[in-house]
Structure 1
Amino acid sequence: MSAAATPAAAPAITLIEAITQALAFEMAADPSVLVLGEDVGINGGVFRATAGLQQRFGSERVLDTPLDETTIAGLTVGLASQGMRPVAEVQFDGFVYPMLDHLICHAARFRNRTRGRLTCPMVLRVPWGGGIRAPEHHSEANESMFTNVPGLRVVMPSSPQRAYGLLLAAIRDPDPVIYLEPKRIYRQYKEDVPDDGEALPLDVCFVLREGSDVTLVTWGAQVKEALEAAEALAAEGISAEVIDVATLKPLDFDTIHESVKKTGRCVIVHEACRTAGFGAEVAARLAEHALYDLLAPVERVTGYDVPIPLFRLEMKYLPSVEKIIAAAKRALAAS
């Protein structure tokens, strides 16, 4: 008897390719899943996240819509309320604002309004954040706006593997999910991502690196800088734990708290503006529940309270490895 063939290794793919892979898997597995948005069909989307899907699944399941975000949102909510599982794409984060009426007044309230009789199983995919030399309205970091809406789940992947698993989970979720995709790392690096349909859990933080001296809490594109900062700190004998929040709403605060109990220090990193950024919510919960565990004040490394600048100053606005290292050292010096 011949030996069984060794399964082929999963190909290394980028984050954007992992999103395409997850969409294709779920569309093949569930006929109620469809994709809609501006240029998602024939052109495969502005970032090519839906490339090839219309050719494979047809124009009734991959719909090119008018250039009208309000209509996209209303159509998505209507489809979800009638048993479909639509995945809508916003071309850029700054284009999402006309959709807020439908998201806040309808999608987020379906379960409560009908006392659980109806839900709204939709996903809104939003290319998010700066770092790609884009014009105005194309580089927003508006995640805290969505976390303030009861009934919306807010998810942000930081790697190809998590993009695949979290998108599958988002599509299968019975309630609306805002799925924020950090476009700066769409094609930055590759990982092996098996196309096995295995979803990752929502509503949990991922501890990406164990540490004992300081906790670095972040999400999205800033995970890369946090890991690089942790590596640089390790060279100086400082042990940093790195937590990828992944699901901002609802927040898995227990994982963050357990880390801070161990390290006694916390640095929160995000590219959104400082005032009322989601890091402020994390810091507030630490003040409420972990005050006696902290050996130093919580540090925040954030964007500034201005619109993200155009490309000449863009990287100065974004959190950097150097800023994270400096914040970690301040926390250590204060204890």
Structure 2
Amino acid sequence: MPSKTFCWAIIDAMHEEMARDEKVFLIGEDVAAAGGAFGASRGLLDAFGPTRVRDTPISEEIIVGMGVGAAMTGRRPIVEIMFIDFLGLCLDQIANQAAKTHYIYNGLFKMPLVIRTSTAVEMGIGPHHSQAWESLVAHIPGLKVVMPSTPRDAKGLLKSAIRDDNPVVFIEHIAMHRNKEEIEDDSDLLIPIGKADIKRSGTDVTVVASGLMVARALAAAEVLAKDGVSVEVLDPRTISPLDFDTIAESVSRTNRCLVVSSSHKNFGFGSEVAAEIGERCFFDLDQPVRRLSPPFTPAPFGRQFDEFLNPDTDDIVAALRDLMA
């Protein structure tokens, strides 16, 4: 199987879906001539032309609004918003239009809209570019929120998102763009939205990790394996809808759980998972569910400061040892 980077997996997914369905098109800032701000649309302009791969003005509200209108008329737009922090500029179009259209028109309109966006947690580029907002958009009814952690998951989930008749916010971490993985050369590689994946099986404790934290949880599991502790690492892949059934099944077997994420503990992804486990698995737990997240503070400038605030492998190892003790 060919080895692909996360970035090229994204490009392949869009290329295959645009070739399969002429209703699919891509719009956003610098997605055409420049090949994307982070290179994630290279070659698409040459392959499909300026009608289907189009640069837009620097106005996120207009970009998403165009996508909403196009989706209502039967097209399948992929809208790129450069950083997830910029979703605040178009939140009305996302939360009050895209997420609500199917509901308020009683099913008359579908909303096959994909909003591709990037997070730059730990890259130290400040409070307007390094935030983790997956919990914010996951709180909006009517939206699906996808956050893959591997190239194969990125490709399969993006293809599923493009084919979905509902609005999907697809979150890519820029630091993962160079990560490589072998991916089968299959234009029908589809990974279902809303289905978690157990990245490593274990029997002693479950780690629910999202996005950037999945690889660190796997590294922590390797460390603890040397101490005879068997760690199960579960990647939700989809923040909303969240696959609580798979999470609950894992926790009911291991009887312990640590939730690790880049979103804040306050009102965040970890809080939602912990609350649901408390309701479903209370009598299976040998210890209370633990959450490991950055403190409730704006993202700082400077990579070393940003990295200091976020959990690393050593932090996860320490938390797991404390949980096992």
Could you tell me the TM-score, scaled by structure 2's length?
Answer: 0.97
Tell me the equivalent position of 2:204.
213
Give yes or no for the alignment of 1:318 onto 2:310. yes
Contact 1:39–1:65, Cα closer than 8 Å, also in 2: yes
Distance in 1 (alpha carbons) for counterparts of 2:94 and 2:113? 10
1:189 is matched with: 180
Would you say 1:331 and 2:323 are equivalent positions?
Answer: yes
Check the 8 A contact 1:13/1:193 in 2, yes or no: no
Aligned to 1:144: 135
Match of 1:169 in 2: 160
Q: CA deviation at 1:193?
A: 4.2
Match of 1:12, as an amino acid? S
Segments of 5+ residues of structure 2 without an aligned counterpart are none
C-alpha separation in 2, matches of 1:290 and 1:312:
38
Q: What does 1:102-141 correspond to in 2, within 5 Å? A: 102-141=93-132
State which of 42, 53, 60 in structure 1 corresponds to 2:51.
60
CA distance in 2, matches of 1:240, 1:135: 34
Kept in 2: contact 1:164–1:193 (CA 8 A): no
Structure 2 distance, partners of 1:201, 1:22, is 14
1:246 aligns with 2:250: no
**Aligned residues between the structures:** 324
Is the partner of 1:124 in helix, strand or coil?
A: strand
Q: Is the Cα–Cα contact under 8 Å of residues 124 and 305 in structure 2 kept in the other structure?
A: no
Q: Contact 1:169–1:202 at 8 Å: present in 2 too? A: yes
Relative to the length of structure 1, the TM-score reads 0.95
Distance 1:244 1:13 in 2: 20
SS of the residue corresponding to residue 293 of structure 2 reads strand
Distance in 2 separating the partners of 1:186 and 1:273: 23
CA distance in 2, matches of 1:20, 1:97: 26
1:59 match: secondary structure: helix
Distance 1:285 1:272 in 2: 17
Partner of 2:289: 298
Encode CA deviations 1:223-250: one digit per residue, 9 max, x unaligned. Answer: 1101101111111100000000101111
The answer to whether the 8 Å contact 1:272/1:304 transfers is no
Q: CA RMSD in A?
A: 1.1
Residue-by-residue CA offset, 1:274-293 (whole Å, 9 max, x unaligned): 11111100000011111101
- SS of the residue aligned with 2:71? helix
Match of 1:99 in 2: 90
Q: Which residue of 2 aligns with 1:277?
A: 268
Question: Matched residue of 1:292: which SS?
Answer: helix
Distance 2:111 2:292 in 1: 35
Shift of 1:267: 0.3
- Post-superposition offset of 1:92: 1.2
Pairwise CA distance, 1:328: 1.1
Amino acid at match of 1:220: G
SS at match of 1:56: helix
Counting only pairs closer than 5 Å after superposition, residues 21-60 of structure 1 correspond to structure 2 as 21-60=12-51
Aligned pairs for 1:154-165 (under 5 A) are 154-165=145-156
Question: Which residue in the other structure is 2:10 paired with?
Answer: 19
Identity of aligned residues (%): 41
Distance 1:12 1:312 in 2: 31
C-alpha separation between the residues in 2 aligned to 1:107 and 1:83?
14
Worse overlay, 321-330 or 146-155: 321-330
Match of 1:233 in 2: 224
The amino acid of 1:95's aligned partner reads: F
Task: Single out whichever of 273-282 and 191-200 deviates more from structure 2.
Answer: 191-200
- 1:133 is displaced (CA, Å) by 3.7
Structure 1, residues 180-237: CA drift from partner, whole Å, max 9, x if none?
A: 1111211133333424232111111001111000000011111110110111111110
Cα distance in 1 for partners of 2:96, 2:152 equals: 33
